[in-house]
Amino acid sequence: MIKHTTVLILVLAAVLALATSVPAQQGAKGGGPPAAKAPPAAGSAQTAGRAHTPAPADAAAQESAKTKAALDSFIMPATVELIDYPNDDGRSLALKFPKSPSESPNFTYVVYVSKSAGGPWYRATGAASTSGKILMSANPADFGWAEETSETHIIQVELAKVKIGEEAFKGRDGMPQKNLEGEPIKKDLMLWDKSTRPGSTFYVRLIVTNKSGIERQVGPVLSGAPVEQWADPAKANNFIFSVLFCVVVLIFIAYARRNPNLFIRKIPGLSAVEEAVGRATEMGKPILYLNGMDPIGSLNTLASINILGRVSRKVAEYDSKLIVPCRDPIVMTVSQEVVRGAYADAGRPDAYREDNIWYVTMEQFAYTAAVNGIMLRERPAANFFFGGYYAESLLLTETGASTGAIQISGTDALTQLPFFITTCDYTLIGEELYAASAYLAREPRLLGSLRGQDIGKMFILVVVVVGTVLASLGKVWLDHMLVTK
Amino acid sequence: MTFTQKLLKLDRRWIYLMVAICIIVPVIVTFRVPIQVTPETKGVYDKIESLPKDSTILLSLDYDPSSMPELYPMTLAILDHIFTLNRDKGRGLKVVAVTLWPTGPGLGVSAFAAMEDKFGTNLVKRGRDYAFLGYIPGGYAVVIGLGQDLKRISPTDYWGTPTSQEPIFEHLNSIRDVAYMVELAAGATVETWITYGSKPYGFPMGAGVTAVSAAGYYPYYNSKQITGLMGGLKGAAEYEKLANVQGNAVPGMRAQALLHFVLVIVVIVVNVLFIVERSKGGK
Amino acid sequence: MTFWKKKFPIALAFICGVVMFFRFFSPSHLADQTLTEFSDWDIIISAVASFLGIFSLLHNHYTKLRRKVPGWGYSIVVYVGFTVMALAGFLFKVDTKANLYKDGLVGVFMRMTLHGSPPPTEGVTTIVNPFNWIFMNFMVSLGATMFALLAFYIASAAFRAFRAKTREATVLLIAALLVMVGRVPLWDFLNTAFSPVSSWIMNNPNMAAQRGIIFGIVLSQIALSLRIIFGIERTYMGGGD
């Protein structure tokens, strides 16, 4: 039932993604909210956080003349559009306009924004006119790869980051607070405050300014309302590949239920588990099992705990002693449950000893010293090291090797693999750790997921090879298709 | 058993003795060690050097005393570089430090105390020029939380002072506002900061890691997910050279250099003997 | 009881997994808030988990003390160390400036335990917080000692591992030697000649191999996550399948 529900949810999500991407695409192409409303621009530039207010009449005339003279050489962009910035949380607008032939490091584009057509105006953002970051081609995930993107500017106006002033920060008692230096603490006042509702209209002006700070407005004052998107089409390729991979894995799990004898290649380390447990039982010595150094949230620890379940079942069947010193308290708790369950499954709940699975310390080398001490005192006949390891790996395995124990390890920590390979009898490399649970249990459901994984790997291999050939031939469509955020 | 066979089956304690001698001798006999700076380390240095005025730098000190010999000199070299830029070029750079490891706070406190001693509290003032948030448990969840609202995740700094009262946090609401981040890691927290910090919140970052784990981070450096990578004591020595800092990394390289050299010679000799022995038909 | 022990955890894992999967593809404000909420709960659970660990540690050593198993003396060391560190951390606030002669031991203790007490003006001595003192003189020294053991172990492992027994071992040997020589800052000519070779090996074959293994690991992690989310893999819950 879960499977059918999941498929339904995934299909619905895909439909939702496609549906919500339509307004965003239209917005990005320039459909957006109506442009060019209202009033004439006026006034000189102010720094961020202060209102941009018109100057008195006489000074305004003089200023106007200076501005005109200074920026006469700059060829204004032919059109300016205000659109909703695509694929965001509904707090950004964007100004889209073609490049001007007279752009140079001397000129800067500045954006002012206001909640009303007459101002006050606040500085939102600015960028050098020649900056590559304000070209549409700088963000192909959102704007595509068309040729026009390298000739068109897009300036994102993040409305939630526009500062309009400061006020005194008040404590719970309503009194202004002071910082450590005795100065009053100030709180930023933002354009987008708690009273701003999604879909509110904002007014935007695009200004071009030169190094003297003289400004000239590009086009009229524009207005628009940002729209929140629920799905990000720029991540659609990611979503599709993830869903495809999930579907493939689920298909093979279903297939494996009908054909339980799926082939899985021999993993020597896992085949040796029974031999190691048997050896320990014959020698009357305990078995040491380490879950790695990572917390329970790490998948390698979960993989190790899965293997612990299988190993402890064998240990219970052989009536041997299992020692599991843990580095993390939650890992310890989960390990205790797993081992208890395994002993119960093997029909030996009486043989379970909770004290054999205990928390040592979280400190890396204190834990290593403790485990080394256990190895030297208890002299386990078999040591299992599964999970994530760091610098202590060689300390653990060398000590274990010196006691003559058979050692089986498995980790996805690439930098520790050489140490394990040198000192252990068997080593599971990378994904073999994650396959171990399926290998030991031989359950069709788990084997099926392994097969699905292999299909995924094959797909990546094909894409890498084909992509390399295409890129070498100058065909970049596959590269473009795979770009994501 | 011939001498060659004895040498090939050498008791490991002779090797331990050789290592001990290689480490002790450079402590007594000093010699110059030429440090060649690699592009990976320069990536971190250049980024800090190019930061705009009044930028805030985030440092995450995710290591413990056992990795201190490699990562602590890196911490000191970076902090020294930052405060030297402030003193000599008036950059006004600020440092906010945090640690995701419970054993990190002591090291952070020592590092900042060392900076206060060197530059004086006029230039390195707690709350104004630097802040240390101490240890916050939670791993990746902390990184996400700091990216949403820093003062909510860390209402006080390590010493209990409310972060709302410290001038350094007046305009710093979250780590989205930092200009650069350097992650000093003994474990796998570099991936945590890239996945949950740098990528979603859009700030560039560099990394300093132990030599043992450095090899695993080249993919991140090559794909430009980190601007630079300092590996082990050598990375720390390179940074000290770039920043012109008299630290412990460059002197420490003497022992490492001598040991590496001796080990290389031993490995070559052993393999030559091994090949000779094998050609004679011996095991 | 079966519902709470078996079905509820599976349902919870499924809901959380699916929500977080879809959250990644949504730029909306709600998705951001969801992430914050989940992260906060993660922090809370991690903090509470430390109590579990402390209880397990103390209980384990109490059992050893009670049964007087061989080595029970070390359990006393655990209790003493735990108590001293905990008391030092709870009682003493900060490194303090104090005048030992003027304030005396009681005065110093009071100054160190009261947060924000003003420093004296004469005869100032900086009294280091006992917690910091123990940390710097015990933890740092012991940790550095353990880590230093690695140098010896790596040398002996290198001595055993770097033998040209097979073709693959020979390739490993040559690559390792080139990288090591390139990182030996003993002579300028070694640096100049071998450093680029060492960098090339690290940035090309090493990185390519790492990437290949990472692909496999990541796909396995995705598959394992799927199995956990859909309740196919339930070993982590204990109690068998």
Neighbours of chain C (3+ CB pairs under 8 A): A, B
For chain C, which ranges sit under pLDDT 50?
240-241
Query: Contacts of residue C225 in chain A, CB cutoff 8 Å?
Result: 299
Query: Contacts of residue C142 in chain B, CB cutoff 8 Å?
Result: 65
C14 in contact with chain A, both atoms CB, cutoff 8 A: yes
Query: Contacts of residue B67 in chain A, CB cutoff 8 Å?
Result: 391
A219 phi-psi bin (left φ>0, alpha ψ -120 to 50, beta other): left
Tabulate helix, strand, coil % of chain A (nearest 5).
45, 20, 35
Closest A-chain CA to B172:
A188
Q: Which CATH class is domain B39-247?
A: alpha beta
**Concatenated DSSP letters for C26-40?**
--SHHHHHHHHHHHH
A379 in contact with chain C, both atoms CB, cutoff 8 A: no
CA of A102: how far to CAs of A74, A99, A106, A133, A150, in Å? 6, 9, 10, 18, 16
B266:C159 CB<8 A: yes
A228 in contact with chain C, both atoms CB, cutoff 8 A: yes
Q: Which residues contact A41 (CB under 8 A, 6 or more apart)?
A: A205, A217, A220, A221
B145 in contact with chain C, both atoms CB, cutoff 8 A: yes
Which of C132, C158, C214 is the closest to B109 by Cβ? C132
B68:C158 CB<8 A: no
Percent with pLDDT over 70 in chain B: 99
Structure tokens at A256: 């494996």
Neighbours of chain A (3+ CB pairs under 8 A): B, C
Break chain A into its structural domains and give their ranges.
2-230, 262-442
Structure tokens at A218: 């590009």
Which of B66, B102, B165 is the closest to A179 by Cβ? B165
Per the model's pLDDT, the better-predicted residue between A40 and C85 turns out to be: C85
Closest C-chain CA to A325:
C57
C226:A249 CB<8 A: yes
A359:C153 CB<8 A: no
Q: Which CATH class is domain A2-230?
A: mainly beta
Task: Give tens-digit pLDDT for A366-382.
Answer: 899 999 999 999 999 99
Residue type, A97: F
- Alpha carbon distance C202, A48 (integer Å): 47
* A contact test, residue of B19, B63, B66 with most A CBs within 10 A: B66
Task: Give tens-digit pLDDT for A314-365.
Answer: 999 999 999 999 998 889 989 999 999 999 999 999 999 988 998 888 888 8
| Mean local confidence (pLDDT), A18-47 | 35
Task: Determine the distance in angstroms separating the CA of A414 from the nearest CA of chain B, rounded to an integer.
Answer: 7
Predicted pLDDT of residue A46? 33
Per the model's pLDDT, the better-predicted residue between B139 and B17 turns out to be: B17
| Mean local confidence (pLDDT), B232-236 | 93
pLDDT higher than threshold 70 for residue A479? yes
Predicted pLDDT of residue A159? 92
Which of A295, A297, A415 is the closest to B215 by Cβ? A415
Say if strands A122-128 and A108-114 run parallel, antiparallel, or are unpaired. antiparallel
Query: Contacts of residue A293 in chain B, CB cutoff 8 Å?
Result: 187
| Mean local confidence (pLDDT), A468-481 | 90
The C-alpha R_g of chain B, in whole angstroms, comes to: 22
| Mean local confidence (pLDDT), B195-209 | 92
pLDDT higher than threshold 60 for residue A99? yes
* A65-69, A278-282, C105-109: segment of lowest average pLDDT: A65-69
Predicted pLDDT of residue B154? 92
In degrees and rounded to multiples of 5, residue B10 shows phi and psi of -55, 135
**Confidence bin at B171 (pLDDT 50/70/90):** confident
Predicted pLDDT of residue C233? 79
Q: Is B243 helix (H, G, I), strand (E, B) or coil?
A: helix
pLDDT higher than threshold 70 for residue A13? no
Predicted pLDDT of residue C120? 57
C57 phi-psi bin (left φ>0, alpha ψ -120 to 50, beta other): alpha
Neighbours of chain B (3+ CB pairs under 8 A): A, C
Is A262-442 a CATH 3.20.20 domain? no
B170:A180 CB<8 A: no
Task: Give tens-digit pLDDT for A130-170.
Answer: 888 899 998 888 898 888 889 999 999 999 889 898 888 87
Query: Contacts of residue A88 in chain C, CB cutoff 8 Å?
Result: 27
**Concatenated DSSP letters for A162-206?**
-EEEEEE-B-TTSPBPB-TTSPBPEEEEESS-TTPPTT--EEEEE
* A contact test, residue of B19, B122, B143, B165 with most A CBs within 10 A: B165
Structure tokens at A157: 């106006």
pLDDT higher than threshold 50 for residue A28? no
Task: Give tens-digit pLDDT for B91-121.
Answer: 999 999 999 988 888 889 889 999 999 999 8
Which of B33, B65, B215 is the closest to C143 by Cβ? B65
pLDDT higher than threshold 90 for residue A185? no
A17:C161 CB<8 A: no
Percent with pLDDT over 90 in chain A: 40
Predicted pLDDT of residue C131? 85
| Residue pair C20/C13 in contact by the 8 Å Cβ criterion | no
pLDDT higher than threshold 50 for residue B163? yes
pLDDT higher than threshold 60 for residue A119? yes
Closest A-chain CA to C22:
A13
Q: Compute the mean pLDDT over every residue in chain B, rounded to the nearest whole number.
A: 90
Predicted pLDDT of residue A152? 93
pLDDT higher than threshold 70 for residue A307? yes
- DSSP H helical segments within B163-210, as ranges? 189-193, 199-201
| Residue pair A392/B92 in contact by the 8 Å Cβ criterion | no
- Alpha carbon distance C231, C241 (integer Å): 10
C147:B263 CB<8 A: no
**Concatenated DSSP letters for A81-147?**
EEEEPSSSBS-EEEEEEEPPTT--TT-EEEEEEESSTT--BEEEEEEETT-GGGBGGG-HHHH---G
- Alpha carbon distance A205, A345 (integer Å): 72
User: What ipTM score was computed for the predicted complex, to two decimals?
Assistant: 0.81
Q: Which residues contact A399 (CB under 8 A, 6 or more apart)?
A: A372, A375, A376
- pTM summary value: 0.78
Task: Give tens-digit pLDDT for A412-441.
Answer: 988 899 899 889 999 998 888 988 878 887
B218:C203 CB<8 A: yes
Break chain C into its structural domains and give their ranges.
8-88, 162-241
B186:A183 CB<8 A: no
Predicted pLDDT of residue C98? 66
Task: Give tens-digit pLDDT for A444-457.
Answer: 878 888 888 889 88
Per the model's pLDDT, the better-predicted residue between A71 and C67 turns out to be: C67
